A = this chain, B = another copy of it.
């Protein structure tokens, strides 16, 4: 992969950080491109160099995180839930501004459903109803049960200022997942 020019990386970082900050302060619809460029300390034109408009920017911001989460899932696919959860919660912690903003009431309404879809995708192959504890149960219902729990836990943890460290969260949620999958 040809490494990106550091000017591009820095501009995009600044722009993404700016839009997140602004979203935590006011409605996305009330944010102008000028607001973003001011906050990012970047020329307004630079934003159009990378994004079509602010909606495209938000889409790409979300898509990048979903994608990054997919990479984390791949890298931990061999591990037990308790261990696999750790990189997960560490990622949530280091990007808490993103998650808290996106899950906030006035955040990006589309994020929650995209997040859910992503989780459905990741968990769907983990469910075995042919044997074991879930023998004979309904796959869709188990899947939705787990995904809902996961989103809820993440939302609670993030919006309450991450009251427990990632290690504890990984362990506790790991146990709960083992119990249900």
A-to-B contact residues, CB < 8 Å: 6, 10, 41-43
Contacts and interface: CB of A to CB of B under 8 A. Distances in A.
A10 B42 CA distance: 10
In the assembly, how many copies of this chain are there? 2
Closest 4 CB pairs of A and B: A6-B41, A10-B41, A6-B43, A6-B42
A177 B42 CA distance: 45
A143 B21 CA distance: 49
Nearest to A6: B41
A42 B9 CA distance: 12
Contacts of A41: 6, 10
A42 B7 CA distance: 9
A47 to B, nearest CB: 14
